[in-house]
Structure 1
């Protein structure tokens, strides 16, 4: 099972516990071998690898595939959902559409866990959007690339495992990502400032190949699904527990943790409104249904 992060990250720890629960719950019939940090399959290839049964199950950053279908990018639209309560409501609204699309492609959603809210890392002070003009800015999915463009920055696609090298070689100078990724990549070695704009909290999704799952007997299926339900609940709790600790780690390593200026937040919210409109147009009728359900909840 390929997973996105290293063993220290709460996503990976949660998945390792899921694997233990599956082994115990199935009486050893199903044993999951976890391969952290892109060591088995690179992140952009995980979804396809599960679909074609090169691997039986895997974890991937859903918004990485929003060019394939805009619905897969709903979690990463800046300022659509900026806290956990809103993020849970957004998942409830979007989940049927996500499961239907992945189901058509031969995959089943097992569980979904959010990243901590994503904020800015920069080597210089950022007081307004104008301060990003010409800055080489890490993009990890299409919407963060578009965000960079609208801020006047220069987007560069860099996966999580490649962040330290990208900073050290000058490929990127700033990024928007979670405090978890900041700690994992030791961002303090490359940048000084962390601005808590809390733009979005994207989701990692764990999927299983449906044909593989369908071959399991009913008791084994039930055990896997029970372990998945527990993993989702535990993952959301871990995110809430660890976000503050991760920010404190950034501070303890010498980074200046700052609140964004009112001017910066006003400009970012305006960009967010544009990105929400662009996403809704790209997602079509289903996008409108998701937004309507989310705003009604």
Structure 2
């Protein structure tokens, strides 16, 4: 009887995700952007640090470009159900599943990296709680450089936005652009360049980094700094996989996460300026938004934020009120 019970426990132990006795634990990490992307490279560096700090007992294999088949709004559920053990997730894209993840992509809430980092630190406990609700552990998050408008023609007044077919990355961006008279379009990142080529869209709400990666100078001419948002990408791990790790392995992963988070925040700022220079070298014109345009955008942004707050918890409202009152 004792032997039988031991055998059952032993077999159950072997079925825990990620555990292979006597061998290195291997975890796949889904990355939604290509191998040259800032966030994918961050995930790869994270994987190296985890292997280093776990003394080689945890190996994370990063799969760029959504090659595992998961790319967008389904990512929270995919990690929750262990369809993929780990993933890089653009928070705003999954805000339809978990409201709090929409905060970092709210328009004009913060205007520089320092404010964006403070907003993140204020919200981090809420992000961690939301991840647990979805059966996963929140490891780290870092921002894209601030989003601007990449267009064929200069954008200097609200009238210049009227009817503009603009690809945006989440619902907040769509509402914001619609409020200003533009025509937001939702589509996977991989389709954006060809859509610009064929005229399906004529502009993109994105960062200098993404404009550089997309070689948008071949199809667009202007980048207007509107400091729309500093949207966050987070990396999470399925809770069952997390529990299958030893305490030492978990600590190694958390140590790597903290280190790569700090590094990625610094890199984001650096990438913003580097990418802007590359865009200029390829003939793109970078302009700051005019005071008239900024005033109209702030008015539209406040309306979007207040609408977002209707579904917020008291704690989320408290945080947002702190920033809109600045």
How far apart are the structure 1 equivalents of 2:67 and 2:213? 15
1:272 aligns with 2:294: no
1:155 aligns with 2:184: yes
Query: TM-score of the superposition, structure 2-length normalised?
Result: 0.87
Q: Which residue of 2 aligns with 1:6?
A: 34
Q: Is the 8 A contact 2:110 2:323 kept in 1?
A: no
How far apart are the structure 2 equivalents of 1:198 and 1:252? 22
Q: Which has the higher contact order (CA 8 A, sep 6+)?
A: 1
How far apart are the structure 1 equivalents of 2:222 and 2:245? 50
TM-aligned CA deviation for residue 286 of structure 1: 3.5
Query: TM-score of the superposition, structure 1-length normalised?
Result: 0.95
Q: Is the 8 A contact 1:64 1:141 kept in 2?
A: yes
- Which structure has the greater CA radius of gyration? 2
TM-aligned CA deviation for residue 69 of structure 1: 3.0
Match of 2:56 among 28, 48, 57: 28
Name the SS for the 1:37 alignment partner. Answer: helix
Q: Is the 8 A contact 1:46 1:60 kept in 2?
A: yes
Q: Which residue of 1 aligns with 2:7?
A: none
Q: Which residue of 1 aligns with 2:151?
A: 122
Q: Aligned residue pairs: how many?
A: 297
Q: Which residue of 2 aligns with 1:251?
A: 280
TM-aligned CA deviation for residue 251 of structure 1: 0.8
Match of 1:217 among 221, 232, 246: 246
Match of 1:71 among 100, 111, 118: 100
TM-aligned CA deviation for residue 282 of structure 1: 2.6
How far apart are the structure 2 equivalents of 1:97 and 1:284? 10
Segments of 5+ residues of structure 1 without an aligned counterpart are: none
How far apart are the structure 2 equivalents of 1:37 and 1:250? 23
How far apart are the structure 1 equivalents of 2:63 and 2:181? 37
Segments of 5+ residues of structure 2 without an aligned counterpart are: 1-28
How far apart are the structure 2 equivalents of 1:239 and 1:50? 26
Q: Is the 8 A contact 1:6 1:184 kept in 2?
A: no
TM-aligned CA deviation for residue 230 of structure 1: 0.6
Note the aligned Cα RMSD (angstroms): 1.6
Q: Is the 8 A contact 1:38 1:161 kept in 2?
A: no
Q: 1:153 to 1:296 in 2, by over 3 A?
A: closer
Name the SS for the 1:237 alignment partner. Answer: helix
Q: Which residue of 2 aligns with 1:178?
A: 207
